[in-house]
Structure 1
Amino acid sequence: MKIAFSPCPNDTFIFHAWSHGLIPGAPQLDVMYADIDITNTLAAESTELDIVKISYAALPWVLSEYALLPCGGALGRGCGPLVLTNAQGEKADDPAQLSGRKVAVPSERSTAYLLFRLWAAQNVPGGVGEIVVMPFHEIMPAVRDGKIDAGLVIHEARFTYQEYGLTLLGDMGSWWESETGLPIPLGAIIARRSSVLDHEAIAGWIRASLAYAWEHPEASQSYVLEHAQEMNPEVAKAHISLYVNQFSDNLGEDGYAAITTLLGRAMEEGLVPKFDLELLK
């Protein structure tokens, strides 16, 4: 079974047991590791992948071919993307400084970008200027070096941006939670709509792999660190604690409400193609 997910600690932690043949009855996984911007594109263009980790923001482009699974993804509270600058002084936290400026984002079909667009519409007079897409681990150095005016960061960058001397301009997760009261829908696990794929069985194998990871956290440590961009074990541990939670096991009512609210607003703003929200269930 072919699967693509990111090399980030939350994904490798969840899928460690299954990818290493530790789940009885589960088929062998052929794993491709790729940044979220690449997996978003692969899901929309490839016909070879059975299971893919993508951004929730990319769902409208792929729901005709893939179904959303109720587990394995990343939702949560206090874990949203951050907007960073290298500005200092009294107005360093004023969103107006982004008016007409160049901003780097990890993907134009990422939840991070979608949240940023919704936030900027309310907080940046006249809107931002040029949007540049780059791998998330390249964004902070580019902001530090003045190559771009601001960066939208995800993953473990929220734990390390101070090391680059950067300033937090806005927390997209805090904004979203104050707006809606809902968790932040970040990464989704989808499976191809195919008569030969048993989605219920796939969800069961993912949950079994997650349960193994929680019961034996030390078992996946070397695998997680091997693939992580940030090799500090404490940072990887903090990343997992933040992004792997009850929503990874079951989206539940709040999870589905968060997803439909985000994508419903995005459709209203013309940020994603229109689609039937019932396809999410």
Structure 2
Amino acid sequence: MNGQRTLSLGFSPCPNDTFMFYPLVHGLVDTSGISYRERLEDVETLNRLALAGALDVSKVSYHALGHIRDDYALLRAGSALGRGCGPLLVASRSIDPCDLGSQTIAVPGRYTTALLLLRLFNPGLTNFLVMPFNEIMDAVLRGDADAGLIIHESRFTYQGYGLRKLVDLGEWWEGETGLPIPLGGIVARRSLGGATIAAVERALADGVAFARSHPEQAARYIGEHAQEMSREVCAAHIQLYVNDFSVDLGDEGVRAIHCLMERGERAGIIPVSGAPLFCGEQHP
């Protein structure tokens, strides 16, 4: 790579993303001469931007990855993947999960992993009301939806709204597969070329490791983008979604992603693809 190259970089304003990307976008790690033009959007907006091929590098839901594998390669660093961190289905009243087929469910986007998991959990569900993730709990409380599929910081705050948990989809996934749950990952446009993608991956991995070693440095940046979140919720969010899988997916993380892709394909929710997950890898 000759000279400076600028890449568009999309990630969400959620604390786990701003925490991980702070060192990269502020030049605290070696970026191999690449600079980044950041764009912060909610995850479903990022999914749609990636579907349109509008970003060079981006955070996406693993559900969205299933639709863009031909054009984007997954990076081994930067993922939100783990145990005890899955989406929750909540309601203001007790509803038997077997009776959900007749209920309206508010969901945080058609390409979110949360919706993919819900459809795998119960393929008979079809009555979805799509809205931004931060509006779901209020919609359930108003009665606009019978139940809501919540992600991100809502996991820590739903009980304060008087809502009750109906299904923990992460718990269901782990029980079904024995694997951690893949929620979101970082992708890079394949047309960037192997050398550039490898440089981005190295810098991101170094940035995540730096952030975990210097957690206080990103505090102001995180706070600027999480203004409605308490410091305690921010800390809990980062602790839950940033872990060893965020530095490197490892064999177990890769198995979990392949499992999710295969189940989504078999269910007809995501298209079958012959593209490998990673740049330079042969299709398994």
Asked if 1 retains the 8 angstrom alpha-carbon contact of 2:10 and 2:46, the reply is yes
Q: Distance in 2 between matches of 1:16 and 1:67?
A: 22
Equivalence map 1:1-281=2 (5 Å): 1-26=7-32, 27-47=34-54, 49-87=55-93, 92=94, 94-121=96-123, 127-196=124-193, 198-228=196-226, 230-276=228-274, 278-280=276-278, 281=281
In structure 2, relative to structure 1, the CA distance for the partners of 1:271 and 1:216 (3 Å cut) is: same
Per-residue CA shift, 1:168-223, capped at 9, x if unaligned?
00000000000000000000100011255611111111011112111111111111
Q: Structure 1: which 5+ runs fail to align?
A: 122-126
In structure 2, the residue corresponding to 1:99 is in which secondary structure? helix
Aligned length: 271
Q: Which moved more, 1:18-27 or 1:179-188?
A: 18-27
Deviation at 1:24, TM superposition (A): 3.2
Per-residue CA shift, 1:105-144, capped at 9, x if unaligned?
11111111111111123xxxxx335211111000011111
Matched residue type, 1:54: V
RMSD: 1.5
Asked if 2 retains the 8 angstrom alpha-carbon contact of 1:267 and 1:273, the reply is yes
Q: Distance in 2 between matches of 1:173 and 1:109?
A: 17
Q: Distance in 2 between matches of 1:233 and 1:277?
A: 41
Per-residue CA shift, 1:141-175, capped at 9, x if unaligned?
11111111111011111100011110100000000
Per-residue CA shift, 1:25-75, capped at 9, x if unaligned?
45221110111111111111134x210100111112211111111111110
In structure 2, the residue corresponding to 1:187 is in which secondary structure? strand
In structure 2, relative to structure 1, the CA distance for the partners of 1:146 and 1:195 (3 Å cut) is: closer
Q: Distance in 2 between matches of 1:8 and 1:109?
A: 18
TM-score (norm 1): 0.92
Q: Distance in 1 between matches of 2:11 and 2:31?
A: 21
Matched residue type, 2:136: I
Q: Distance in 1 between matches of 2:129 and 2:178?
A: 30
Deviation at 1:21, TM superposition (A): 2.0
Asked if 1 retains the 8 angstrom alpha-carbon contact of 2:69 and 2:275, the reply is no
Q: Structure 2: which 5+ runs fail to align?
A: 1-6
Matched residue type, 2:79: G
TM-score (norm 2): 0.91
Asked if 1 retains the 8 angstrom alpha-carbon contact of 2:31 and 2:199, the reply is no
Matched residue type, 1:119: F
Asked if 2 retains the 8 angstrom alpha-carbon contact of 1:267 and 1:274, the reply is yes
Q: Distance in 1 between matches of 2:21 and 2:65?
A: 21
In structure 2, relative to structure 1, the CA distance for the partners of 1:202 and 1:149 (3 Å cut) is: same
Asked if 2 retains the 8 angstrom alpha-carbon contact of 1:156 and 1:230, the reply is no
Matched residue type, 1:97: D
In structure 2, relative to structure 1, the CA distance for the partners of 1:177 and 1:148 (3 Å cut) is: same
Q: Which aligned segments of 4 or more residues in structure 1 are displaced greater than 4 angstroms?
A: none
Q: Distance in 1 between matches of 2:96 and 2:169?
A: 14
Identity among equivalent positions (%) equals 48
